[in-house]
Amino acid sequence: MTAKALLEGGPDDLAGKLVPVVPPGKELKIPHRGGYEHYKMTPRHEHSQEGQVTVYQWWERTEVAE
């Protein structure tokens, strides 16, 4: 079973979303609207419809070089 993360902060259409943590680690890099949204693991957990999930906090956006 793949671990899931609850996204906190960042773009409105990503905030509150559950996403797979692939590869497992302390940071997530999510492709979004021509760039990447970066999230870092927090020590917090929330209960979701899929059980306990780790909360990841948004910390920056990077653009994709063309």
Please give the full DSSP string across 5-63, using - where no structure is assigned.
EEEESSSTTTTT-EEE-SS-SSEEEEEETTEEEEEEEEEEEEEETTEEEEEEEEEEEEE
CA distances from 25 to 29, 32, 46, 55 (A): 11, 19, 18, 13
How many CA atoms lie less than 13 Å away from 36 in the CB half-sphere?
9
Q: What is the mean pLDDT of residues 41-59?
A: 95
pLDDT tens-digit readout, 19-44: 999 888 899 999 999 999 999 999 99
**Rounded-to-integer distance, Cα 35 and Cα 54, Å:** 24
pTM of the model: 0.90
How confident is the prediction for the chain on average, in pLDDT?
A: 93
Domain boundaries, the chain: 1-26+48-66
